[in-house]
A and B are shown apart, each in its own frame.
Chain A
Amino acid sequence: EAGVTQSPTHLIKTRGQQATLRCSPISGHTSVYWYQQALGLGLQFLLWYDEGEERNRGNFPPRFSGRQFPNYSSELNVNALELEDSALYLCASPPRGTRSSYEQYFGPGTRLTVT
């Protein structure tokens, strides 16, 4: 089965613009987690979607938002981009039939660069 996919691979935006990142979990997996991996800061939890609803969010401002579609794919939106938003954004899903797990399957990420 195909793994978690993300698009685009790279995204370059200027400060103040909006960015939209997309994720498709493994087929049949219903939960999607978003993480930010910024240089020097490690992997930080952003948002969790399950069955179309936002279930939890990390310590990020409201300009980070998203949604989950009926087919369980997800979109992360970052408004009013700032230079420090430059990072690798990773999407992950736990195993089929689970909402959360120590095991998460990660996509390859979207590299967002804000200039």
Chain B
Amino acid sequence: QKEVEQDPGPLSVPEGAIVSLNCTYSNSAFQYFMWYRQYSRKGPELLMYTYSSGNKEDGRFTAQVDKSSKYISLFIRDSQPSDSATYLCAMMRIGYSTLTFGKGTMLLVSP
């Protein structure tokens, strides 16, 4: 079992839809949970991060972490064509220097 599992998609939705992106993980030592967004031909950029459990909201984006289920989610409300990108979940243990990434989910939002 890989440490971080993420469905590669693609996930196709119409503009305005609510999008749910998810990752599961196996290592309970992960404490930092991040979502990176990667547009085509670009490097990833940090979208949101959460420390430990709970929810975090930033505009149209909400990140959720359920450590008991080892499950994290990213919700996008009122999705826009400009949200079309690959979304990578990433995790990090305290005291460790490296991030562990999921494979990324490709999201396509059609006008």
**8 A Cβ contacts from A32-63 to B:** 33, 35, 40-45, 48, 55-56, 58
> Which residues of A have CB within 8 Å of B88?
42-43
> Which residues of A have CB within 8 Å of B6?
42
Chain A interface category by residue count = 20 to 34
Q: Is the CB of B98 within 8 A of A102?
A: no
- B-to-A contact residues, CB < 8 Å: 6, 8, 32, 34, 41-46, 49, 88, 90, 92, 96-104
Secondary structure call for the B interface = loop
Q: Is the CB of B34 within 8 A of A102?
A: yes
- A-to-B contact residues, CB < 8 Å: 4, 33, 35, 40-45, 48, 55-56, 58, 90, 92, 99-100, 102-109
Q: Is the CB of B43 within 8 A of A4?
A: yes
Q: Is the CB of A43 within 8 A of B97?
A: no
Q: How far is the CA of A33 from the CA of B98 in the complex (A)?
A: 9
CB distance from A24 to the nearest CB of B (A): 13
Identify the closest chain B residue to A56 (Cβ): B97
| Extra pairs beyond A43-B101, A56-B98, A106-B44 (13, CB < 8 Å) | A35-B101, A42-B101, A42-B102, A42-B104, A43-B104, A58-B98, A92-B43, A100-B98, A102-B99, A105-B45, A107-B43, A108-B41, A109-B43
